[in-house]
Amino acid sequence: MSAHANIPAGTDLLEEINRLRKERNAVILAHYYQRPELQDLADFVGDSLELSKKAAETDADVIAFCGVKFMAETAKILSPEKIVVLPDMEAGCSLEDSCPPEKFAAFRERHPDHIALTYINCSTEVKALSDVIVTSSSAETILSQIPRDQKIIFGPDRHLGGYLNRKFDRDMLLWPGVCIVHEAFSERELMKLMQANPGAPVAAHPECPPNIIDHADYVGSTSGILNFAKTFPGDTLIVATEPHIIHQMEKAIPEKTFLGAPGADGNCNCNICPYMALNTMEKLYLCLRDLEPRIEIEEQLRLDAKRSLDKMLEMAAGTVGKGDLGNPSGD
């Protein structure tokens, strides 16, 4: 049954969401890849690290998470006493799917002298099997605190891991996962766009493959890219990440032009995250009304996963808002 079927005709969704958020003492958190209307009504919009911190700090009774499942699970792990609802439980992530916990556990067993530094885009089970979690905005700070002779497994994103290996001259063992959204950028189409906009810098998320990163003037998390958009000196920026972030750029700097990097068809629509796109106003209204679907995590699993997340929050202290993996050439 579609979400609409449960909504009385004539419902003013925004009015109802605003009424319910007060009634439920709910906080609405949204990732930068959400539809503009969800970003606009959220109490807080941010990158994965910032949203985790907000979830850990909030005194709301309910967290309505406009993002994907691993993000809502992170909120529940950090705030177990809160009701955490996700508008659509099917909002997964290709990186999470690429890393089944049994296979990850077996991989760890084959490398007993390695620690597991794991990207937050993974299941709660994989977090429980990891030593330290990172986000794209905290990875650099955290990796720099790990001695160079410590052997490391990095999963599940081989592009982020490969980028960190190249930039910091490390040899982390990489799990072979990818983000289907960032994999879809076309180098050929990007070069055409760069030629058509001479001098326009390129800002890229580190989930992009190396042939896209090689063209980037700036590489960083979503909040890092947004900061770059606010400060770069030119008037046009090419953005190689999920295009919904451009909404925040256009709001903050309406006089500048932001161009989404294209996919193979020359159109950036194939770079819309299909999982993030599942969340809608209708589903947000329903989850605030019904307090379903809810994230539930078995307590021992939660505690096991919390260890690696707490380690991230401790080691990343001070990085929130910086969102920075910086310049790919390291200067």
Binding site for ligand SF4 (CB under 6 A): 68, 93-95, 121, 179-181, 207, 242, 273, 275-276
The residue (of 16 and 39) whose beta carbon lies closer to ligand SF4 is 39
Report the nearest approach of ligand SF4 to the CB of residue 21 (Å): 24
Residue 62 as a binder of ligand 13P (CB under 6 A): the answer is no
The residue (of 84 and 273) whose beta carbon lies closer to ligand SF4 is 273
The residue (of 183 and 189) whose beta carbon lies closer to ligand SF4 is 183
CB atoms within 10 A of CB 188: 10
Report the nearest approach of ligand SF4 to the CB of residue 178 (Å): 9
Extract the tokens encoding 217.
């003037």
Report the nearest approach of ligand SF4 to the CB of residue 326 (Å): 20
Give the contacts of 102 (CB within 8 A, at least 6 positions apart): none
Report the nearest approach of ligand 13P to the CB of residue 321 (Å): 12
What residues between 133 and 152 interact with ligand 13P by CB under 6 A?
Answer: 135-137
The listed partner (ligand SF4, ligand 13P, none) that binds 154, CB under 5 to 8 Å by sort, is: none
Give the contacts of 283 (CB within 8 A, at least 6 positions apart): 3, 87, 88
Among 109, 107, 129, smallest CA distance to 117 is for 129
Cα dihedral 252, 257, 261, 264 sign = positive
Rounded Cα–Cα distance for residues 297 and 82 (Å): 12
**Is residue 297 part of an annotated ligand binding site?**
no
3 state DSSP class of 133: strand
**Is residue 222 part of an annotated ligand binding site?**
yes
Q: Which stretch binds ligand 13P (CB under 6 A): 108-116, 129-137, 168-176, 190-198?
A: 129-137
CB atoms within 10 A of CB 151: 12
What residues between 223 and 242 interact with ligand 13P by CB under 6 A?
Answer: none
The listed partner (ligand SF4, ligand 13P, none) that binds 324, CB under 5 to 8 Å by sort, is: none
Angle at alpha carbon of residue 313, lines to 85 and 321, rounded to 5°: 85
The residue (of 159 and 306) whose beta carbon lies closer to ligand SF4 is 159
Edge-first strand order for the sheet with 132-134 is 132-134, 114-119, 151-155, 173-174
The residue (of 17 and 186) whose beta carbon lies closer to ligand 13P is 186
For residue 68, which phi and psi values (nearest 5 degrees)? -110, 170
Query: How many amino acids of this chain bind ligand 13P (CB under 6 A)?
Result: 11
Binding site for ligand 13P (CB under 6 A): 47-48, 121, 135-137, 179, 205, 207, 221-222
